[in-house]
Amino acid sequence: MSVSQITPTLFLSGADAPLNQALVSRKGITLIVNATLNHVCPVYPGVECLRVPVSDLPSARLGDHFERVAERIHSNRTGGTLVHCAAGMSRSPALVIAYLMRYRGVTLCRAHAWVQESRPYVRLNAGFWAQLLEFEKRLYGKNTVKVAAPMPPVKPPLSPWTLRSSWTQRSPPLLPRSPLLSSLSQAKKLKKDDPAFTSGDVIQQAGTCTTSEVRRTKRKRKAPDTPSTMAAIADTQKKQFEEFMKLETDRLLSELADQLVAWTANEKNSERQLQQ
Catalytic site positions: 85
**What single string gives the DSSP state of each residue in 22-34?**
HHHHHTTEEEEEE
Contact 95, 69 (CB under 8 A): yes
Within the chain, residue ranges assigned H as helices are 21-26, 66-75, 91-103, 108-118, 126-140, 160-169, 179-193, 199-206, 227-275
Contact 244, 21 (CB under 8 A): no
CB-CB neighbours of 139 under 10 Å: 15
252/132 Cα distance (integer angstroms): 23
- Which residues make Cβ contacts (< 8 Å) with residue 262, sequence separation at least 6? 55, 57
